[in-house]
Structures are given as structure tokens and as C-alpha cells.
Amino acid sequence: VVRCFVAGLAASQLHIIEGISGTGKTSLPLAFAEAIDAPVAVIAGSRSAPIRREVARALAGLLGSATLNELDAGHLVPVEAPEAVASAVAEVAAR
């Protein structure tokens, strides 16, 4: 499930929000969200494109155990703010 979810991220950011199954009756984002029961850190750059921040917020909203972290960075958050990313991940890992 996780591999399919990550592969979907590469296809299009909007597929995360708007994806549906082949029948059109099941929301893929909701199905994936329900399958993830571990703590999740959703990390977005506050200076990234607005659509990227919107997708991050929507994804965090779908995942009941998610923590949204909007860090002071652009699109390459791990490169621009590695310490903040490490801190966010460590915080979630400690839960």
C-alpha cells in the first residue's frame, strides 16, 4: 500500500487529493489514509508554491495521525532546513 501511495505522489500532486479507483466509487486518498495507522510527519516548505502547501495540508487532514510541519524553506525542505526536518521526524518517531 505504501509503495503504491508513494508511486502516486510521483505521478501528480493532485492525484493525492483527487484520485479515485477504477470504478470511480472509492477515493484512493481516503483508502490509503485509512491504511496508515503509524504516526506521520507531513513536511512542507512555507516558501514553496501554494499548491504544494495546499496538497500537504490536505494530506495531513486525511491522515488522522499526521502532524503538519510547515518549515521556513522552499520546495527542497530537507536541503534548505535539514535540522528542522530531522527534528520533525524525531518528534514523530518518539510517539
Each domain of the chain, given as residue ranges in start order, spans 2-93
* 38-85 pLDDT per residue, tens: 899 999 999 998 888 888 898 888 888 899 999 999 989 999 999 999
Alpha helix (H) ranges present in the chain? 2-11, 13-18, 28-35, 50-62, 77-80, 82-93
**Do residues 40 and 63 touch, judged by C-beta distance below 8 A?**
yes
The whole-model pTM stands at 0.64
Query: Letter for the amino acid at 92?
Result: V
Query: Letter for the amino acid at 19?
Result: G
